[in-house]
Amino acid sequence: MNTDPLKLARFSGQAHAILRITAALSYMSHGTMKLLGFPAAPAAMGPMPVPLFSFMGFAGALELLGGFLVLIGWFTRPVAFLLAGQMAIGYWMVHAPKGMIPATNMGEAAYLYCFVFLFFASAGAGPLSLDNRSAD
């Protein structure tokens, strides 16, 4: 029985790589916002850039460096696990006190990043990554 009538399964490797790369680029922009002030942050987030040796500065460094490692697919499993934890902590510290529904507490990005990174922690970097380079 043909369970893939559109034959899209053959593109699963490419889709895996595209998800990793686009999620990492988007995630890195949160780090550049905190550490470099670019792109400009919404006024509600407070003044940017933040000091590197602060709670938000540490979060920005994780977002920028961890996002870059996920982007190139190097040490993807442990880095993605660390970033998933960062997003879980961020969700519970910042968003959950405003209510439990992510659509109303502004926490959708945090919980989506958390589960995307958990996917990469379990599935690995996929194709087009340094983790999967050939040993030749």
Predicted TM-score of the model (pTM): 0.91
How far is Cα 32 from Cα 127, in angstroms, rounded to an integer?
26
**Domain positions in the chain:** 11-123
Burial 17-46 (b: 16+ CB within 10 A, else e): beebbebbeebbebbbbbbeeeeebeeeee
* Ordered per-residue pLDDT tens for the chain, 136 residues: 567 778 888 899 999 999 999 999 999 999 999 999 999 888 878 888 999 999 999 999 999 999 999 999 999 999 999 999 999 999 999 999 999 999 999 999 999 999 999 999 999 999 999 999 865 4
**What's the pLDDT at 7?**
85
What's the Cα-to-Cα distance from 57 to each of 31, 50, 60, 89, 119, rounded to whole Å? 8, 6, 5, 15, 26
In sequence order, what DSSP letters do the residues of 77-122 get, joined into one string? HHHHHHHHHHHHHHIIIIIGGG-S-HHHHT-HHHHHHHHHHHHHHH
